[in-house]
Amino acid sequence: MEFFNATGGDPFKPSLFELVAQEQLRDLLQPALKYVLSVFAQRNPRYLLRIVNRHEEFYAILMLFVERYYLRTYDASFSENFYGLKRRRRPLFETERARAAVGGIPPEEKLRSREVWRSLLLIVGIPYARAKAQDYFESLGGGIDSDILEDGGSRHVQALTNQTLGGRLRRLYKRAYPWLNMTFEAWLLVYNVAYLFDKTPFYRPWLSWVGVDLRRLGVDDLRLAAMAAQKGATPERKKGILAFIRRLLISSPQVLLDSLKLLLPTAIFFIKFLEWWYSPSSPARALSSSPLGPPIPPPQLLPPHPNGIPIDGTKYGQCPLCKKAITNATALPSGYVFCYRCKNEGVQAAGDTIDGLEKIEGLIRERWAHLIGDFFQKTRRREEFRPEKSQRAVRHRARPSITCPQEAGGSVPSHLPPFPVTYLAFTFFFFSSSA
């Protein structure tokens, strides 16, 4: 790692890791700003929804003003100034003897208006163009097979559209974009490796066209920045409210842009804190009350009946019937656990339970029979009040004769399905009424 961080005999040449870090910071600003705008747009969609839909253009215009101010004031972009870097006009011949003879910062290294506008074009234009190209590629399919997302009619319309000139160009762009993007990334990688081994002074190919390179801030740069700040802080001030408001309006954009260096790390810390605070493992979950009310307590265990099966409360994991270790544990609605075989043979067949309840299957069958009987009675009463409609229904379709279970003595009709299949659907009514 020390080998890759070494910059030879030039202490002001930044390492590749510093340059990559400042580019990553620049790339993280756009999605962070888009996320914040989307959150606020949910509450104020009338004003912010259009900005969210045109986020790339809004971000490009915003960064155009920010980067222009930093390039004119600090000879560096926002992310470069945040990491203590600057841009300079690269001289044709650079020698340490000439630098030592001049002393300080040579005036030829300061960026001119031409270098500022070229840098702005590349700092703002390249990320904007790449973002729009990626969005258009994803809108065309983004490498996903169209047969997965489209039905037969859509594929037929798409096939007819592809026969036009615009369709052919879109299909060509969809196929060529991944290769062009890979070629561009490989081009940048070659320059990174060349800069890492000191084969070129530019870590990006377009810096040579602009005619600038990146350097670390030195003592002279910090001294000049302090003198400029002190000079701007003590101007000749006129008295009066209007003069104060005028100075405030003039200096507020500059103060706001300069404060971004402090607001950025503060905002990052605040966003990370909010992510932790609203995470599932946050203590805020325990402190805040649930909107659904207090949690439902677990059901209480029914106490053993005097005539039920005797159990030993100290022996855990023992079946009350076979007095052995429970195998294939099966719990009853009362809360007690038996072996599955003991539960089928002993509890369901003989009705022996701990809490003294009757046989479960019989209870469910009886409860279901009463429910069916009540339903048939209500249906018959409604039809008695509407005889004309009932007669029309009989003429149009044959209705099977159904015997009410209550009229038949409360027994379940023989044609009903067995208990394990159908009766389970009515266990909810049984336990809700018994509770």
pLDDT by 10-residue block (mean), the chain, 435 residues: 52 88 84 82 85 89 90 87 87 60 69 89 91 88 60 51 76 90 93 90 88 85 71 57 64 69 75 73 63 68 67 71 83 76 70 52 49 60 53 45 42 42 44 46
Q: Report which of 65, 39, 61 is spatially closest to residue 52, judged by C-alpha positions.
A: 39
CA distances 150 to 141, 159, 163, Å, are 11, 12, 18
Q: Find where tokens 């506008």 sit.
A: 117
Please give the distance of CA 335 from its chain centroid, rounded to a whole number: 42
Backbone angles phi, psi at 139, to 5 degrees: -70, -25
φ, ψ dihedrals at 418, nearest 5°:
-65, 170
Give the integer Cα–Cα distance in Å for 419 and 175.
Answer: 61
Residues 132 and 299: their CA atoms lie apart, in Å, by 58
Q: With beta carbons less than 8 A apart as the criterion, state whether 58 and 72 touch.
A: no
What is the spatial distance between Cα 302 and Cα 333, in angstroms, rounded to a whole number? 10
Instruction: With beta carbons less than 8 A apart as the criterion, state whether 382 and 364 touch.
Output: no
Q: What is the pTM of this model?
A: 0.55
- Output Rg (C-alpha) for the chain, integer angstroms: 40
